[in-house]
Each structure stands twice: as C-alpha cells, then as structure tokens.
C-alpha cells in the first residue's frame, strides 16, 4: 500500500494532494493543517472527485498517528505572504518556517514516522537541515526539492532559445534555492550536445548571464503574477516521492547534505528507496566550483545566524 502524508494544505500542499489522488499514485493520504476547517474541506473536495476517477484513495485528516506507516511525508507549510514586500529574498520566510518546524517536528517524531520526508518550505536548504535535526531523521531520509525546480526552469529557458522541448535539455542548476544559485553551464546539453557546441552549430549567440538571470528570477515572475508558485514545485515534490516508492534510482538535483561543505544545498543525487542513496559528484570548472563553495557558505552563514536567533 502506497501511503503519503501532507503537512500544510495551502497552494503547494493541495497541488501535491490533488496530483497524488487524480493520478492514482496514493492508496492512502493523510492531510494535516493548522486550519482544521481547511483540511476537512480539501478532504471532502478530493473525495467528491473520486466518483469520476478510475482509482480510489482513502483520505484521512488531522491525525499525526496516521503518519507512522506512511512511505513519504511532504512538508509544505509556510507563510507565502512573508514574501509580499521582500521579492527575491526567501530567507525572510525562515522567521515563520522555523517556528512551524518547532511545532511539527516533535509531532512527526512522536508519530513514529520512519519514511522519507520531502520538504518544500523556504528557505528549503536551511529548513531541510533544521527539520532533519529537530525531528531526528538521517540526512538520507530528509531532503528538499532544492534546485530540482530551478533546473526545470533552466531547461525551459534554454529550450526556448532553440525551439526544442525542455525534456531535450540536460544539466544542472546548483547551490542554494535562492539568490546564490548558479547554472553549471559546463553540464548543460541540448539534444545531448554540449550547449556551446550546439549553439555554434546552429549559428546562435547566447548571453549566458541574461539567461541565468531569467532562470534565477523565474519564480518571482510567477509570484508577482499570481501571488505564489504551486504547479512546478508540486510536480517536483511528487516526482521525488514516486522515485522513493518505486525505488526508481532517479538522478536529479535535490537539496541534501554535502559533507565537504557541511550544509544542505542543491546538488545531483540518486533518489530511491530510503531517500537519498548517494550524491553524484560532478567535475565542475574552477569557476563553477568557486560558485558552489560561495553558495554553500552563504547558506551556512545565514543558517547559523537564524538558528542562533531561533
């Protein structure tokens, strides 16, 4: 039986829940939110749609004890309005999300949950590490979506330059899910050809700095238009969960612990049964390695400051 939990049924949480139910991924689903009325409403709405689906999901609400035998737990709670006057700075959310972690971590631990936790809360690198410590998980069990979404944005932006499908673009955005992230251009391919070689063959000049700015600020373009992001991040979270329950050995950039820099940050890893099975080390250029180190230090410094104030 495939069982999932979702803590926080706001825009992202309900997108995850809707996807799990309508795609027939979940046999059982547990919804938890500080607003019980909202959790019950989403439960009823999802139950209503099942008469028109080919699959059935048993949906329960507001019961942490039900997480004991869950395979994957999504933590999607947060305060999106913290960003309203702070465009570009996900760290302002830490004031709110760390308090959420303080509240839910003991409850998750008490429930006996021993599956894989997927965090989408911002700043996701710091929160994943904070949650891992507070709830007593291993670093393999607790991961965040990290730069999985940023890499998808890179794929879209690069694909648009060549009129191809984003699935035909490979490579990584690495580091913080935030301002210090960077595109590792040496890893980027189009139709399995190195980006620069492909662009030259097509007679196309690319301004990589402009493209990187567009990628980095893609989330804010969405946020400024609709007030939040949901579909992209929700899809990334579900993709990771599917990799766990099917032991898919999916290689993708997620936020997980980096031993060299002693922090969580976005890096390629293999995700399967039990969570992160191993980190896939890359051969970066000297410039890219310097950016990777800078991003790691940025996360560590901000996390240390915020953690001391917690």
Bind-site residues: 8-13, 33
| Strand stretches in 134-249, DSSP E | 142-144, 169-174, 182-190, 193-194
Residues contacting 289, CB < 8 A, separation 6+: none
* DSSP class per residue in 181-238: -EEEEEEEEETTEEHHHHHHHTT----HHHHHHHHHTHHHHHHHHHSS--HHHHHHHH
Binding residues for NAD(+): 8-13, 33
Q: Count of CB atoms within 10 A of residue 53's CB?
A: 13
Q: Tell me whether residue 283 is one of the annotated catalytic residues.
A: no
- Lateral strand order in the sheet of 182-190: 169-174, 182-190, 193-194
The gap from C-alpha 209 to its chain's centroid, in whole angstroms, comes to 24
Q: Are 50 and 23 in contact (CB under 8 A)?
A: no
Contact 180, 290 (CB under 8 A): no
Burial class (CB in 10 A: 0-12, 13-18, 19+), 262: exposed
DSSP at 288: H
What is residue 121's DSSP assignment?
A: P
First to last CA, the chain: 38
Which residue among 177, 193, 223, 283 is the active-site one?
177
H or E element at residue 254: strand 250-258
Alpha-carbon distance 290 to 293, whole Å?
A: 5
Residues with a catalytic annotation lie at: 177
């Amino acid at each position: 039986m495939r069982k999932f939990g979702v803590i926080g049924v706001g825009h992202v949480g309900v997108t995850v829940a809707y996807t799990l139910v309508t795609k027939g991924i979940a046999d059982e689903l547990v919804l938890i939110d500080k607003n019980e009325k909202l959790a019950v409403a989403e439960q009823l709405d999802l139950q209503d749609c099942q008469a028109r689906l080919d699959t059935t999901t048993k949906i329960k609400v507001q019961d942490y004890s039900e997480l004991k035998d869950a395979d994957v737990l999504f933590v999607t709670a947060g305060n999106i309005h913290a960003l309203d006057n702070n465009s570009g700075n996900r760290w302002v959310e830490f004031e709110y999300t760390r308090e959420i972690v303080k509240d839910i971590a003991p409850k998750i631990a008490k429930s006996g949950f021993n599956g894989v936790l997927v965090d989408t809360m911002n700043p996701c690198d710091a929160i994943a590490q904070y949650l891992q410590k507070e709830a007593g998980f291993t670093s393999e069990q607790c991961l965040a979506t990290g730069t999985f979404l940023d890499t998808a944005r890179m794929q879209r932006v690069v694909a648009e330059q060549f009129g191809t499908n984003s699935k035909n673009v490979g490579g990584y955005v690495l580091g913080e899910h935030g301002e210090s992230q960077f595109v590792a251009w040496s890893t980027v391919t189009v139709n399995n050809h190195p980006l620069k070689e492909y662009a030259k063959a097509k007679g196309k000049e690319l301004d990589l700095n402009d493209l990187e700015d567009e990628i980095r600020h893609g989330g804010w373009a969405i946020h400024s238009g609709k007030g939040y992001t949901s579909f992209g991040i929700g899809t990334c979270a579900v993709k990771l969960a599917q990799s766990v329950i099917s032991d898919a050995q999916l290689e993708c950039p997620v936020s997980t612990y980096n031993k060299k820099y002693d922090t969580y940050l976005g890096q390629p890893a293999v995700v399967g049964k039990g969570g992160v099975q191993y980190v896939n080390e890359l051969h970066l250029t000297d410039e890219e390695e310097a950016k990777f180190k800078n991003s790691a230090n940025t996360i560590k410094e901000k996390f240390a400051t915020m953690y001391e104030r917690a």
